[in-house]
Structure 1
Amino acid sequence: MRRHDTSNRGAPGTTAGLLGDTAHARAVPAPDAAVPSPATATAPAPRTGGSSANGWEVDEGVEGRGAIRMFPVAGTGLTVALRHGDPAAVLLHVVRRFHHEIDALGGSHEELSVQGWIPPARVRDSGMPESNQASGTAVAIRPAWYPPGHRDAFTPDQVAVVRDILADTDGVVRWGGDDWRPYEGLFYLATGPDDGRITRVADRIRVRDENEIRSPRGR
């Protein structure tokens, strides 16, 4: 079902850019886990003074005093670095649905299956959607397969599933394939930290995913 192609300046106010790689997910064993709880979103973090294209503060490192943590992607054997709390809950849900409904991630042929946070120093244009990775509010799925600037990596049926995933987030997540410079592997938060929709969506996902992770069907 997969069609691969080997690429965004996005919609006004939601654009990003990167050229980086660290804290990304490879096919390494990781335990299944429930999605991040709201409590993790309240931990204090040092301020960097910069923000990504979607308005979230960029972060300088993983598992330090900042907001970036490593998370297992339930049912995949992968881990990915994301902003803890609501952003991680929403983006992990997107990756899980991609894995189960579009194409399984983590095969031996993949060097890099999912890339989350990247260092701010790797961002070449803070106005491009990829800059959202520096704040831990974006994921690039198979960035080598679906790089910036290329279209039509997915079949119509796969695109239909992408649309369903986006609808499932009530507009909180945007797909890089919809930007004028496409990046079909990129999914990022289209809302800023003060938008209450992300918490509502994350809470709904937590309840549903915690049940589905425990069921044989999953999602």
Structure 2
Amino acid sequence: MTIDRRTLLVATGAATALLALPSPATAAPLATPGAAVRASRWEAGRSANGWLIDPDAVETFRVEGSPATVRLHAEAAGVLLHVARRWHYEVMPLRAAPDVLGHTTDRVVRTAYASNRLSGTALVLPGAGDGLWPHQTAIVRDILADCEGTVRWGLDLAPATAGHFQIDVKPGTRTLGRLTAAFGGGPARHDSPRTGAPDDPATPERRREANRLAQAQRRNN
């Protein structure tokens, strides 16, 4: 696995709280071996997370700081773009389309959670290769804590997929609206450059919150 300079700098900042990099064999898996699912057509009018499949509600957004663009449900975009933005800055760089996968009209899916892309409420961030290093996994857990349970990671679903992120609450949820405003909701704001540094994900408080959320979401899987 190739680790670029920016990823190494992020890892260095968390070095006091995280273990030294292990061999790739202990990295978080991209997918669960032997968990292949037969593809089938999703016929429902809503995706698995309860959102209406409505192409008219989908817009194109750019991931700040990157050349990548992605099509998402307008109400879900603020939070999912926050995930993609931090992934780009702190986990691994995103490139131009089609590096980031969002809304799709292809109803043939291999998992129920893949149907969430039909409503524009899930995205896939490629580039994880054959897995994530532990320091990268810790950063993703911190990103999820930022989202306060509104987003679920594919690594906590079955079969596991490290690049998948989906909205995990219903439309109109108050927390989703509040976070969208906090993250700079709205297409215009998401197209503006911003390189703000997030809080250190290795602090005890943030690690506790990230672990608490991970345990709660795994119990509800």
The alignment's TM-score, normalised by the length of structure 2, stands at 0.64
Q: What amino acid is aligned across from residue 89 of structure 1 in structure 2?
A: G
Larger Rg: 2
Is residue 93 of structure 2 the alignment partner of residue 104 of structure 1?
yes
Residue equivalent to 2:165: 187
Q: Alignment length, in residue pairs? A: 166
8 Å CA contact retained: 1:123, 1:134: no
8 Å CA contact retained: 2:49, 2:167: yes
Distance 2:69 2:62 in 1: 4
Q: Which structure: greater helix fraction? A: 2
Structure 2 gap ranges (5+): 5-23, 33-37, 199-221
Instruction: Give the alignment of 1:1-219 within 5 angstroms.
Output: 1=3, 7=31, 50-59=45-54, 61=55, 66-84=56-74, 86-106=75-95, 112-125=98-111, 128-142=112-126, 153-206=131-184, 214-215=193-194, 217=196
Q: What amino acid is aligned across from residue 180 of structure 2 in structure 1?
A: A
The alignment's TM-score, normalised by the length of structure 1, stands at 0.64
Change (3 A) 1:158 1:124: closer
- Residues 74-115 of structure 1 deviation map (CA, whole Å, 9 limit, x = unaligned): 11011110001x3111111110000000111117xxx74110
8 Å CA contact retained: 2:65, 2:193: no
8 Å CA contact retained: 1:106, 1:113: yes
4+ runs of 1 displaced by more than 6 Å? 2-6, 17-20
Deviation at 1:194, TM superposition (A): 3.9
Structure 1 gap ranges (5+): 9-16, 21-47, 147-151
CA RMSD of aligned residues (A): 3.4
